[in-house]
């Protein structure tokens, strides 16, 4: 447990720095990690053809800067690699009206994990028939929205949900509508993360119908016998940030086995197989994700081989990448507020004796992943380069929580100072979408950049927005000048 309330660090809480030797160039932008448009111009980071100082001045910090060409390029890479299959963008990674329109225009499908994600996509004009609704506890209202709007699939997750959906589907059929297309989400007993996967007989988790207990087969048989539902196929999702296709291959083996069992039990040959998302991205330069082409080739060949072994026709494949489309193209810009050198206990020989706590103007409210998952990020000094020697740093937020860490250990130039801008890479997935108002910090805006044009696709939340929810404060004016709009130039301004 690293995260704990504010207060003195508990003895033994501080692990030794887990950072390697400083890189030769502290300002380098590794193409694995940084958006495709990222480059340094006269030392300054430019994204989508716009200098970061200008973006920060115009929109404030913290600021999510989304490289549109990167996002759409990665979506197109998946669509091309999985030609003839369905690529669903897992919108939980990051969704707003503009993203829903890009995904719609570029011909992909979209996964929603809640009625509100579904409502947002529909409100943005996303074609309902290309949307799938996930969730282990869909409410009656959520299911009704799915049925009424005619979405492509409801991904069934429990027997209770089947009981809830059937009367709604029956009402639709009675009114002359079509049966509701559904997938069965299976729990295949594979848990995969990064380079490892574990295959177990059953999984102790909340999603899906277990294959090992026979629930998945029971559910499939039940749904097939239900005239108001149309079972089109099976679904499995095995984990996240996966770099190795072996876990998908093991899952495909098991889920194709279930296709065979369904066929034997009912004579139905299901035509769709959705193998979920979880394709990894590089958060650090040393990470080396599998390309969409390689993933597609491996998955196709494994599914074809498994189907051949069971004498089944090969189903239409679907995948649900979220992070691999949204993650790498976005950068979070922060302004440094304070820097505090903290003496470390006596490290090993040559180990750094001081760690600089570099505090920025956001934190775990705009990126909870480091605190929640011990995720690794990298960042650079963004408004300039520096020849100063490397200093061991920890980038932390401004929350009242000592676990409020963004980048645990990294090297930054020793002359970083308040007013400098830091850019944290690969923050496009599960950062803005998991943002909170902890300590009443406000959700940052998202600015899309492309070929020199910057467009705010989500505006900054204001204190007035938050006051409006409060029964006592709804009509009280927020302080002026707005606390939530950082001053364009820091008093100690090092920004050029
Ligand atoms: C069912 C399902 N599909 C797709 C995804 C997207 O995963 P990722 O963003 O890692 O690709 C998730 C994420 O948890 C998921 O639960």
Residue 8: the pLDDT is 37
Residues contacting 481, CB < 8 A, separation 6+? none
Ligand 1, closest atom to CA 279?
11
Say yes or no: 200 and 143 in one domain. yes
Number of structural domains (the chain) is 2
Say yes or no: 122 and 78 in one domain. yes
> In this structure, is residue 483 part of a structural domain?
no
Task: Say if strands 330-343 and 421-424 run parallel, antiparallel, or are unpaired.
Answer: antiparallel
- Categorize the per-residue pLDDT at 437 as very low, low, confident or very high, splitting at 50, 70 and 90: very high
Task: Say if strands 330-343 and 63-67 run parallel, antiparallel, or are unpaired.
Answer: antiparallel
> In this structure, is residue 20 part of a structural domain?
no
pLDDT above 80 for 3: no
pLDDT above 80 for 100: yes
Task: Say if strands 229-235 and 190-194 run parallel, antiparallel, or are unpaired.
Answer: unpaired
321 lines ligand 1 (CB under 6 A): yes
Residue 5: the pLDDT is 41
Distance 91 CA to ligand 1 centre (A): 9
Q: Among the options 113, 307, 400, 431, which is catalytic?
A: 400
237 lines ligand 1 (CB under 6 A): yes
Say yes or no: 303 and 372 in one domain. no
Mutation to probe ligand 1, out of 320, 325, 428 (largest number of atoms < 8 A from CB): 320
pLDDT above 50 for 12: no
Say yes or no: 193 and 307 in one domain. yes
93 lines ligand 1 (CB under 6 A): yes
Say yes or no: 125 and 245 in one domain. yes
Say yes or no: 277 and 317 in one domain. yes
276 lines ligand 1 (CB under 6 A): yes
Where a domain ends, among 257, 292, 326? 326
277 lines ligand 1 (CB under 6 A): yes
Q: Does residue 373 have a known ligand-binding role?
A: yes
* Range(s) of the domain holding residue 352: 39-66+328-467
Q: What value, to the nearest 5°, has the Cα angle with vertex 212 and ends 208 and 218? A: 65
Distance 246 CA to ligand 1 centre (A): 17
Say yes or no: 336 and 310 in one domain. no
CATH at residue 454: 2.40.37.10
Q: Tell me how far apart the alpha carbons of residues 49 and 37 are, in angstroms, rounded to a whole number.
A: 7
pLDDT above 90 for 315: yes
CB 371 within 8 A of CB 405: yes
Where a domain ends, among 260, 293, 326? 326
The string of pLDDT tens digits covering residues 115-147 is: 999 999 999 999 999 999 999 999 999 999 999
> In this structure, is residue 108 part of a structural domain?
yes
CB 441 within 8 A of CB 365: yes
Nearest CA to ligand 1 atom 5: 277
pLDDT above 50 for 360: yes
Say yes or no: 229 and 356 in one domain. no
Residue 202: the pLDDT is 67
Where a domain ends, among 273, 295, 326? 326
Ligand 1, closest atom to CA 280?
10
Say yes or no: 102 and 242 in one domain. yes
**Hey, what are 39's tokens?**
């480059």
> In this structure, is residue 484 part of a structural domain?
no
> In this structure, is residue 26 part of a structural domain?
no
Q: Does residue 322 have a known ligand-binding role?
A: yes
Say yes or no: 152 and 248 in one domain. yes
> In this structure, is residue 277 part of a structural domain?
yes
> In this structure, is residue 488 part of a structural domain?
no
Distance 382 CA to ligand 1 centre (A): 31
pLDDT above 50 for 161: yes
Say yes or no: 112 and 74 in one domain. yes
Say yes or no: 82 and 223 in one domain. yes
pLDDT above 80 for 72: yes
134 lines ligand 1 (CB under 6 A): yes
279 lines ligand 1 (CB under 6 A): yes
Tell me the average pLDDT across 216-234: 98
* Catalytic residue list contains 393: no
Does the global pTM surpass 0.85? Answer: yes
**Hey, what are 334's tokens?**
């922060």
CATH at residue 169: 3.20.20.10
E strand or H helix at 457, and its extent?
Answer: strand 453-458
Residue 486: the pLDDT is 53
Residue 205: the pLDDT is 83
> In this structure, is residue 29 part of a structural domain?
no
């Amino acid at each position: 447990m690293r995260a704990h309330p504010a207060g003195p660090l508990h003895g033994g809480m501080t692990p030794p720095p887990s950072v390697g030797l400083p890189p030769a160039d502290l300002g380098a932008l590794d193409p694995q990690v940084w958006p495709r448009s990222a480059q340094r111009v006269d030392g300054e980071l430019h994204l989508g053809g716009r200098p970061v100082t200008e973006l920060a001045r115009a929109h404030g910090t913290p600021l999510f800067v989304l490289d549109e060409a990167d996002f759409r390029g990665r979506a197109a890479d998946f669509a091309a690699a999985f030609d003839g299959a369905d690529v669903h963008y897992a919108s939980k990674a990051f969704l707003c009206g503009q993203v829903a329109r890009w995904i719609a225009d570029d011909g992909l499908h979209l996964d929603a994990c809640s009625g509100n994600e579904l409502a947002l996509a529909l409100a943005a004009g996303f074609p309902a028939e290309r949307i799938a609704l996930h969730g282990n506890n869909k409410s009656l209202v959520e299911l009704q929205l799915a049925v009424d709007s005619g979405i492509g699939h409801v991904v069934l997750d429990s027997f209770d949900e089947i009981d809830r959906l059937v009367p709604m589907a029956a009402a639709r059929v009675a009114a002359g509508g079509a049966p509701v297309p559904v997938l069965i989400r299976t729990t295949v007993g594979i848990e995969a993360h990064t380079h490892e996967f574990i295959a177990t007989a059953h999984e102790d988790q909340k999603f899906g119908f277990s294959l090992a207990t026979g629930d998945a087969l029971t559910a499939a048989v039940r749904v097939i016998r239900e005239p108001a539902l149309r079972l089109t196929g099976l679904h499995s999702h095995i984990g996240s940030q996966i770099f190795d296709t072996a876990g998908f291959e093991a899952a495909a083996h098991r889920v194709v086995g279930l296709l065979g069992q369904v066929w034997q039990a009912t004579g139905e040959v299901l035509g769709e197989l959705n193998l979920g998302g979880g394709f990894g991205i590089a958060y650090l330069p040393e990470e080396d994700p599998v390309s969409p082409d390689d993933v597609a080739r491996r998955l196709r060949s494994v599914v074809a081989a498994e189907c051949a072994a069971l004498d089944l026709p090969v189903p239409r494949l679907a995948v649900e990448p979220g992070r691999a489309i949204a993650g790498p193209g976005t950068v979070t810009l922060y302004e440094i507020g304070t820097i505090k050198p903290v003496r470390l206990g006596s490290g090993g020989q040559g180990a750094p004796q001081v760690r600089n706590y570099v505090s920025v103007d956001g934190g775990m409210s705009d990126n909870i992943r480091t605190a929640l998952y011990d995720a690794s990020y990298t960042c650079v000094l963004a408004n300039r380069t520096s020849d100063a020697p490397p200093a061991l740093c920890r980038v932390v937020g401004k929350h009242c929580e000592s676990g409020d860490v963004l980048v645990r250990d990294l090297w930054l130039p020793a002359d970083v100072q308040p007013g400098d801008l830091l850019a944290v890479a690969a923050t496009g997935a599960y950062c803005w979408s998991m943002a909170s108002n902890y300590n009443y910090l406000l959700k940052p805006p998202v600015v899309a950049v492309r070929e020199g044009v910057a467009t705010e696709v989500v505006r900054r939340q204001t204190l007035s927005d938050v006051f409006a929810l409060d029964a006592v404060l709804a009509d009280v004016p927020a302080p002026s000048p707005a606390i939530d709009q950082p001053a364009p130039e820091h008093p100690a301004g090092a920004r050029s």
